[in-house]
Amino acid sequence: MKYLLTYLKGMAMGAADVVPGVSGGTIAFITGILDTLLESIKRINPNLIGVIKAQGIKGAFNHINGPFLLCVFSGILTSIFTLSKVISYLLVTHPIPVWSFFFGLILISVVHMLKQVKGFSIIRLVLFGIGVVFAWGITMLNPIALEMTYLNIFLGGTIAICAMLLPGISGSFILLLLGLYPSVLAAAKNLDIAVLAIFASGCVVGLLTFSHLLSALLRKFHDATLIFLTGLMLGTLGKIWPWKEVVSWRENSSGEQVPLLEQNLSPMQFEQLTGQSANIGWAIFALCCGILLVWGMEKIAERNKPND
């Protein structure tokens, strides 16, 4: 049952990672597995060779918390390969409820994370502000168009997986900024083994390097790091705002016209400028679903805490 729950948390991370602007790291944090994930990944280092010699493959697998990692990454990959088409479809056909759901998810996650901070100070408030400004600035950047080469795919995977571990910074949005998101998503849909293998190699390199840094920061400067990460999450809300007007378009790898730059609108402005319904009722419902989902996860985590 424990491993099934971990697998489902991995699926939730994968589903979030498919959406540009939403971070799998956020899901990892609110489901209570981020620290374990970082610690487990950190154990995959050159010292593992000595563990293999002393304890064998099985001992080394247990040393890195293999069953946990297997469940998490199996869940992530399951979502990427099975939900990428569904989420892509929903973002095109029902964007407002989808973005509203994730807006509620991030909003309540900010509250959830602030509860973990034991005290506030001027320095921590400054770190919070820096996190907000940094994340907001990233979301305002204009996407670039990197050439679709194996080297760029590898580097994109390295950078994106680092962002994917951070609550608030979306790995898929980083790929979008680099101009690689459509290519990677198309590779996942079409099972392009060559592209996926190179992207996965970049992800592995990024995981094994960045996890050490983030784990050390959370261990030595827990509250300061936490409040900075919370600022990152809050700063991405502008990207997730449901009502947008497309300012410019780009052609994706399939030759289709998709949004390049967008600006946020109020629901009333959205109806006036686009002639489409703002779907406020559905937006509120989806927002509440996102909030209730995190609230429910928090209550379950609190109930299970004494047994950890």
235/118 Cα distance (integer angstroms) = 22
Q: Show Cβ contacts of residue 220 under 8 Å, excluding neighbours closer than 6 positions.
A: none
- Dist. CA 74–CA 86, nearest whole Å: 18
- Rounded Cα distance, 109 and 28, in Å: 11
- Cut 0.95: pTM above it: no
Q: With DSSP H G I counted as helix, E B as strand and the rest as coil, what are the percentages for the chain, rounded to 5? A: 75, 5, 20
| Local confidence pLDDT in tens for the 308 residues of the chain | 678 888 988 888 887 777 666 677 778 877 778 888 888 888 888 888 888 888 888 888 888 888 999 999 899 888 877 877 787 788 778 889 988 988 888 888 788 778 878 878 899 899 999 989 988 887 776 666 667 788 888 988 888 887 777 766 667 777 777 778 777 877 877 778 888 899 889 988 888 888 888 888 888 888 888 888 888 888 878 878 899 887 766 665 555 666 666 788 899 999 988 888 999 999 999 999 988 887 887 777 667 664 54
End-to-end Cα spacing for the chain: 14
> What single letter denotes the amino acid at residue 129?
G
